[in-house]
Structure 1
Amino acid sequence: MIKMTRRRWLAAGTGAALAVGMAACGALGNDYTFSQSQLQAALERKFPFNKRYMELFDIQLANPQLTLDPGRNRVNVQFDATVDNRLFFRQALTGRFALDSGLRYDQATRAIVLQDPQVQQFDVTGLPPQFARQLNALGGILAEQLLQGYPLYTFRPDQLRVAGASVEPGTITVLSNGINVKINRP
């Protein structure tokens, strides 16, 4: 029988806890797989999104709904949108804003972020016709400038350490039921 020292006991317990934690996140071996529901929950924690643009428009995006497009390796996100500008509108305008986007890993923030988002829809209820073109242009700017690099999922530091070594996410693949992230080992 092998005598377990306290240090060996702690190391064995830590290793087992790490394996259980990684299995819970879908990470064992060389990748992580996050389900659509895990990603949806992570996304919901980051909203509502409020931004003032050009000191003229107050924009709020809320209630994000994530869908996956594995055929194009992209994600689609729809939001409830509110655009307010007391100078041009009597009351805030509401509607739907939808975009699709690629994904990439951002090392500085340890996050999977939106890459090259493209507006698919920007419909606003009650928009005066003379403002439709400007608002559509604003939607494109919102996607390209404000949501480029927006975090979809942020890794905890412990998720980027395996067996005491630092690892870094690599290839990101959109699946029909989640996102798979390959792990680059040193």
Structure 2
Amino acid sequence: MGDKTVRVTEAQIQQKLNERLAVPFSLLKIFDVNLSNALVTFDKTTGRMYTTFDTRLSSALLDEAYAGKLGLSGKLRFDAPTQAVVMDETEIDKFELDGMQAKQADMLNALAKKLGSQMLNGLPLYTVKPEDLTIGNRHYQPKEMLVTDKGLQITLSPQP
């Protein structure tokens, strides 16, 4: 038995992100951030994943809650100990909130870029299923991961 391939689609990653980030999180215990409706694209040239979220930000410091868009990207790698695809070199590419004053928006944008990148770095996006790693008595180990324009392609090799 030779290598086998597991394909992970944009839709699968979008679903995992929506599940993982469905719970609002807090920035500095001041701002509550809700992310939803992940839209994922892959760039095979750079090996990066680009994601846009619908975003809602609220805080006791603000008069109202704001809605907008958060765009982030990250380089993908396979983490062998956890059998998961994780995002590294995470960057907040865009953070726009509708109706917010420019001065507040600039401050929040800088905060989001700094803290958001740190919080999302190393985020697990997909874990290889146990049933993909074992067929009969044969155990497979991830060998390589390729980012394509359609998703991820993980090659599994049989262990001796």
Larger radius of gyration: 1
Match of 1:53 among 10, 20, 27: 27
Q: Mark the CA change 1:170 to 1:81 in structure 2 (over 3 Å): closer, same or farther.
A: farther
Large movers: runs of 4+ above 4 Å: none
Kindly provide the amino acid, as one letter, of the partner of residue 90 in structure 2.
Answer: P
Q: State the distance in 1 between where 2:151 and 2:102 align.
A: 39
Match of 1:183 among 144, 147, 156: 156
- 1:130 alignment partner in structure 2: 103
Q: State the distance in 1 between where 2:18 and 2:28 align.
A: 26
Alignment of 1:63-74 (within 5 A): 63-74=37-48
Q: Mark the CA change 1:100 to 1:181 in structure 2 (over 3 Å): closer, same or farther.
A: same
Q: TM-score, normalised by structure 2?
A: 0.84
Q: Deviations over 1:62-106 (max 9, x none)?
A: 11011111121111110011111112x111111100111111223
Bigger CA drift: 37-46 or 110-119? Answer: 37-46
SS in 2 for 1:167: strand
Unaligned runs of 5+ in 1: 1-27
Q: Deviations over 1:93-145 (max 9, x none)?
A: 11100111111223454321211111211111122222223211222134322
Q: State the distance in 2 between where 1:40 and 1:159 align.
A: 20
Verify: 1:117 aligned to 2:81, yes or no. Answer: no
Higher RCO (CA < 8 A, seq sep 6+): 2
Q: Mark the CA change 1:79 to 1:43 in structure 2 (over 3 Å): closer, same or farther.
A: same
SS in 2 for 1:139: helix
Kindly provide the amino acid, as one letter, of the partner of residue 32 in structure 1.
Answer: V
- 2:54 alignment partner in structure 1: 80
Q: Mark the CA change 1:79 to 1:184 in structure 2 (over 3 Å): closer, same or farther.
A: same
| Number of residue equivalences | 159
Contact 2:56 2:66 in 1 (8 A): yes
Alignment of 1:136-155 (within 5 A): 136-155=109-128
- 1:105 alignment partner in structure 2: 78
Give the number of the structure whose residues are more often strand, by fraction.
Answer: 2
Q: State the distance in 1 between where 2:80 and 2:143 align.
A: 10
Q: State the distance in 1 between where 2:130 and 2:116 align.
A: 29
Q: Deviations over 1:18-46 (max 9, x none)?
A: xxxxxxxxxx8333122333333333333
Give the number of the structure whose residues are more often helix, by fraction.
Answer: 1
RMSD between aligned residues:
2.3
Q: State the distance in 1 between where 2:14 and 2:50 align.
A: 11
Unaligned runs of 5+ in 2: none
